[in-house]
Amino acid sequence: MNYKMLNISKNLNRADSVAAWRLCMGCGACKWACPNHAITLKNIPSKGIRPLVNEKKCQQCGACVVVCPGKGLEHKVFSKEKINELSDGWGPILDLYEGYASDDNIRYMGSSGGIATAIALYAVEKAGFTGVLHTKTDPNCSIVNVPTYSKSRNEIIEACGSRYAPASPCQDFDKIKQTEGLSLFIGKPCDCAAMRKACVRDPELSKRVGLIVSIFCAGTPNTSGTIAILKEMGIKDPSFVNLFRYRGNGWPGLATACGDTGKFDEVASKNVKIEKDGCRTMTYSHAWGEILTKHVPLRCRLCPDSAGEFADIAVGDAWYRDLQNDSGRSLVLIRTEKGRNFYQQKDFEKYITLENTKYCALPDSQSSVYNKRCHIWGRLKVMMLLNLPIPIYRNMNLEKNWKSIPFRRKIMTYLGTVKRVVQKKWKLPIKIE
């Protein structure tokens, strides 16, 4: 795509303009990068976590967009050793496995085998890492996430499980930079891309990052998505809930809300079950497929990297397996030499069980993610022609992915994008306040 044809990123010179043009996904890296402490983050239930800039403090230096994954993604070098059969649609992959936490409890609690948690435990208990920067439930509100730096086994396990709601772990990169020794970072693919950009900008941070682990992510729903789940569960006020899980406790597990059950309403929806202890549950497929996906922001619909291409190790669900008869398994993508060296260390198998798998396990498990990637080139072309700011993606093979889809689908993508630009008023920036 000829990005120079139109000055498409002309408006994206500060974090709040990225957000105004709907290209922010709330990672928080801009807040960390701002040398003048001009940025605060706000969780807007209908939009996500977004940056607010204090005009009095801002010096227009642009540091916030240098680390911003919303503005664009770029692969510099692809390893020559990558698995060629997968490289067109999935970024660099050196080795592909299936795996799960060797500890049955962690496997049970985790989203899809507890691998991310088990890697964190191995890093701290065996590989000499000081701690882990990742995301957990806000102790003050069970439907909100906060970044957390975990050092102990209990702290790491407390953050186990996928939270399908906004999270900004990148705002706390300084926790890694200011901690002696190596730290592990766990985040979504865009969080990991922000970490890579931040490491280029800040060698001190880079020195302290021992490993970057990405969980797969097809989209982060706004908090309004979680509120919609609660509503269907008959829970009017999130403050009635003291525990909210999106999944886990089995694979893929149930969305579960517990708390002041006496205040919960009667439930009309056949998709909600009232458990013996009064907690309300619904299946993961209903919560994600029917509710949360309706609350995913535009930037996620333009995201080509749902499989953690900028991480050292990426993990996602092995959805091709039989959900009824499996205790949870993750696909484990080793993306860099650093990732490979990490899993080849002593006693790794005591924490994580890895098994060889077929290359087709990845496309068979994540067809919707690949399908989305194939349409992005066309969506961006339409937006570019309509002179809308778009994210710039380099060396990601998106044109080739686009060419692989049938002509009819291409036309539908063009028309559908034009329709959405008009209906959703994307030509107008949104006000974040």
Ligand X SMILES: Cc1cc2nc3c(=O)[nH]c(=O)nc-3n(C[C@H](O)[C@H](O)[C@H](O)COP(=O)(O)OP(=O)(O)OC[C@H]3O[C@@H](n4cnc5c(N)ncnc54)[C@H](O)[C@@H]3O)c2cc1C
Name residue 258's beta-bridge partners.
Answer: 243
Residue 21's closest CA among 79, 74, 70, 82? 70
Q: Which of 212, 218, 302, 361 binds ligand X (CB under 6 A)?
A: 218
Binding segment for ligand X (CB under 6 A), chosen from 121-129, 181-189, 374-382, 422-430, is 181-189
**What is the Cα 2 distance to its own chain's centre?**
28
Burial of 302 (0-12, 13-18, 19+ CB in 10 A): buried
Residue numbers 140-159 binding ligand X by CB under 6 A: 145, 159
Collapsing DSSP to helix, strand or coil, 364 comes out as helix
Q: Which of 297, 316, 339, 389 binds ligand X (CB under 6 A)?
A: 316
Helix (H) or strand (E) holding 356: strand 352-356
Is residue 113 part of the contact set for ligand X (CB under 6 A)?
yes
Q: Which of 9, 17, 43, 112 binds ligand X (CB under 6 A)?
A: 112
| Residue 293 · residue 308 · CB < 8 Å | no
38 interacts with, out of ligand SF4, ligand X, none, CB within 5 to 8 A per kind: ligand SF4
| Residue 314 · residue 333 · CB < 8 Å | yes
Is residue 38 part of the contact set for ligand SF4 (CB under 6 A)?
yes
Output the DSSP codes for 17-71: HHHHTT------HHHHH-TT--EEEEEETTTEEEEEE-TTT-----HHHHT-TTT
Q: Which of 25, 101, 318, 398 binds ligand SF4 (CB under 6 A)?
A: 25
Spell out, one character per residue from 293 to 332, where the chain touches ligand SF4: x when CB under 6 A holds, - when not.
------xx--x--x--------------------------
187 interacts with, out of ligand SF4, ligand X, none, CB within 5 to 8 A per kind: ligand X
| Residue 213 · residue 186 · CB < 8 Å | yes
Burial of 421 (0-12, 13-18, 19+ CB in 10 A): middle
Give Cα separations from 371 to 25, 118, 235 (angstroms): 20, 30, 35
Is residue 43 part of the contact set for ligand X (CB under 6 A)?
no
Tokens of 236: 């009017």
Residue numbers 55-84 binding ligand SF4 by CB under 6 A: 58-64, 68-70
Is residue 223 part of the contact set for ligand X (CB under 6 A)?
no
Is residue 111 part of the contact set for ligand X (CB under 6 A)?
yes
| Residue 41 · residue 18 · CB < 8 Å | no
Least distance CB 89 / ligand SF4 (angstroms): 15
Spell out, one character per residue from 14 to 33, where the chain touches ligand X: x when CB under 6 A holds, - when not.
--------------------
Binding segment for ligand X (CB under 6 A), chosen from 81-89, 185-193, 230-238, 407-415, is 185-193
Residues that bind ligand X (CB under 6 A): 110-117, 134-136, 145, 159-164, 167, 169, 186-188, 191, 215-218, 220, 306, 315-317, 330, 366, 369
| Residue numbers at the binding site for ligand SF4 (CB under 6 A) | 14-15, 18-19, 24-30, 33-34, 36, 38-39, 51, 53, 58-64, 68-70, 188-190, 217-220, 299-300, 303, 306
